[in-house]
Amino acid sequence: MTLRPQIKVNNESDRLYLEMLYDNYKNLMFKQARKYFQNQSDVEDVVQQSFVKLIMHLPTLRKLNRNTLAVYIVNVIRSCSIDICRKRKIVKENNFSDFFEGYEETLEDDYDIDCVMETFLSVQQLTNAISQLPEKDQFVLEAKYLQCWRDSEIAEVLGIKKNTVRTRLFRAKNKMLEIILRGKNEKE
Amino acid sequence: MRKNKIKKNELETLFEEATIAAAELKGKKLLEEAKKDPYYPSAEFNHRIHSLIESKTKKTEPLAFFNKVFLVYSRASAWILLALVLLFVTVPNIASARNWVTKLVMDSNPKYVSYYFQNNETNVSNLESNKTGLFPEGTYYPAYLPREMKLVQLIYKESTMTYRFQDTEENYLMIQVSGIGSTTNVDNENLDEQSTVIVNGMQATYSSKADMKSIIWSDEAHLFIVNSTLPKEECIRIANGLMN
C-alpha cells in the first residue's frame, strides 16, 4: 500500500506530538494488531509500519480529536495488516473475511434523492445507523470521510477495483438508509 | 438536475458528519477497551519506535548531501591510506616471516636440524645446542680453511656432522665427521692416485679420481671424510686442521 505522504516532519513540536501519539495509543495499536496476528514479531511489524504511515499523515492526525484519532489509527493498523497478509500470501483469515469478496460488481451510484430527503435525515440518525453497519461498511465510510483517502487508495488497501470502492460506499449508504427507514416503520 | 446535485452534496455532508460522529463514539469505545487490556511492548521495540521518530523529525541540513559525499570520500581515502600502509609494512617483512616459518618447521622436527648460512644471514635452530652454543659439545670443526672458501651448508643429522664449502672459483669442499658405528662407501675403481697420509698422527687414506680428492681416516670414536676439488696439500692441511 502506498498512501500519499502529506508532508515532511522535521521539528521539535512534531517529535513531541509523535512521542505522545505512541505513548497514548500503543495499547490500542497492539490490541488491534493482535487481532490479526498471533506472532509477536508480526504484531511489532504491523505496529511499526502503521506508525510510519501515521507519521506520513501527521497534519491530518493533528486535526483529529482523541477518539476519532483512535479510529484513524485502528484503520491504519487494519490496512497495514491486510497489506502484510497480502505480501506474505497468507490465506485470508477470518478476521479479514468480510473485507475480501469473491466477486466484484459495479452499481449505479444513484439514490432516489427526493425519497431520501423526505425522510428528514439527521446526523444523529445516521450516526446510529453507521454504528449498526458491518465492519467492512464502516471501514469504507471512515476511509472516505475520516481518513480522507481517495477511492484509488481505498481500492489499493482492500485489493479491489476503484469502481468497486464506489459500489461498497453506495451499498453502505443504502444500508444506513434502510436501517433508518426500518426504524421509522417499527416506531409507526 | 442542479437541484439533485445540491441535494446530493447536502447528503454527502450529512454522511461525512455522521461518519465522524460515529467514529467519535467508536473511538471512545475502542480506547476504553484498550485501557482495560494494557500492553507493554518490549524495551527494544520502544527504542525502535523512538529511533524512528528521531530519524523522521531530524532537521535536514542544507548541505547534507555535500557533507555526505565528503564523508564517503574521507572514509574511502582513509581505507586506501590504511591499505597502503599495511602493504608497505607487510612486504619487507615477508622474508622475515618466511624465516620464522622455517624456524617453526625445524623446531617441530627434533631429529633433523639444518643450519643454513646465506647472504650473511644466519638461521640457527637446534634443540640442545641453543643452550650450550652453536654446535653440540665435542663437535669437530675445521680450524683451517683456504681463503675465499665459504660455508654454504651445514647438516647435523643424528651423529653425523657435514660441512659443505664453496669458493668463488667453484672449488668444492665437504667435511664429514661421523660418530661410532658409522659406515661409508668408497669408490676405489679407476683411481688416479691412492696413498697413505698422516693426519693428526693418524693413518689416513688419500685418493683422487678426476678432480675430486678424498681423505678418509678414523680414531676410536669418529670417522672423518674430507672431499674436495682443492689440491692434495690443501686437503691434507684442512684435514690436519680438524679439531673439537
Q: CA of A142, closest CA in chain B: separation in Å?
A: 6
Per-residue pLDDT at B42:
86
Identify the weakest region by mean pLDDT among A10-19, A116-125, B69-78. A116-125
Query: Which of A14-23, B121-130, B178-187 has maximum average pLDDT?
Result: A14-23
How much is the ipTM here? 0.78
HEC-encoded secondary structure of chain B = CHHHHHHHHHHHHHHHHHHHHHHHHHHHHHHHHHHHCCCCCCHHHHHHHHHHHHHHHCCCCCCHHHHHHHHHHHHHHHHHHHHHHHHHHHHHHHHHHHHHHHHHHHHCCCCEEEEEEECCEEECCCCCHHHHCCCCCCCCEECCCCCCCEEEEEEEECCEEEEEEECCCCCEEEEEEECCCCCCCCCCCCCCEEEEEEECCEEEEEEEECCEEEEEEECCCCEEEEEECCCHHHHHHHHHCEEC
Residue B101 has which C-alpha cell? 616459518
- Measure CB to CB from residue B24 to each of A11, A47, A68 and give the nearest one: A68
pLDDT band at A112 (very low <50, low <70, confident <90, very high): low
Look at B193 and B182; give whichever has higher pLDDT. Answer: B193
Q: CA of B2, closest CA in chain A: separation in Å?
A: 12
pLDDT tens by residue, B31-65: 998 888 888 888 889 999 988 888 888 766 667 77
Per-residue pLDDT at B138:
73
CATH number at residue A87: 1.10.1740
Mean pLDDT of chain B, nearest integer = 80
Identify the weakest region by mean pLDDT among A69-73, A112-116, A117-121, B224-228. A112-116
pLDDT band at A186 (very low <50, low <70, confident <90, very high): confident
Q: CA of B104, closest CA in chain A: separation in Å?
A: 53
| B60:A10 CB<8 A | yes
Name every chain A residue with its beta carbon within 8 A of the beta carbon of B44.
none
Residues A90 and A114 placed together within one structural domain of the fold: no
Mean pLDDT of chain A, nearest integer = 80
Residues A65-83 have a mean pLDDT of 91
pLDDT tens by residue, A140-166: 999 998 888 888 888 888 888 888 888
Residues A74 and A103 placed together within one structural domain of the fold: no
How many residue pairs bridge chain A and chain B with CB atoms within 8 Å of each other?
A: 136
What domain range includes position A126?
A: 98-188
Residues A160 and A70 placed together within one structural domain of the fold: no
Does B4 have pLDDT greater than 80? no
For the domain covering B113-243, report its CATH number.
3.30.200.100
Query: Shortest CA distance to B17 belongs to which of A43, A130, A136, A112?
Result: A130
Residues A103 and A152 placed together within one structural domain of the fold: yes
pLDDT tens by residue, B124-180: 444 444 444 566 667 888 888 888 888 888 888 777 888 999 888 888 999 999 887
Q: pTM of the entire structure?
A: 0.51
Alpha-carbon B1 to chain mean position: 94
Q: How many domains does chain A have?
A: 2
Residues A111 and A90 placed together within one structural domain of the fold: no
Does B100 have pLDDT greater than 60? yes
User: How many angstroms separate the CA atoms of A111 and B29, rounded?
Assistant: 32
Q: Where are the domains of chain B?
A: 113-243
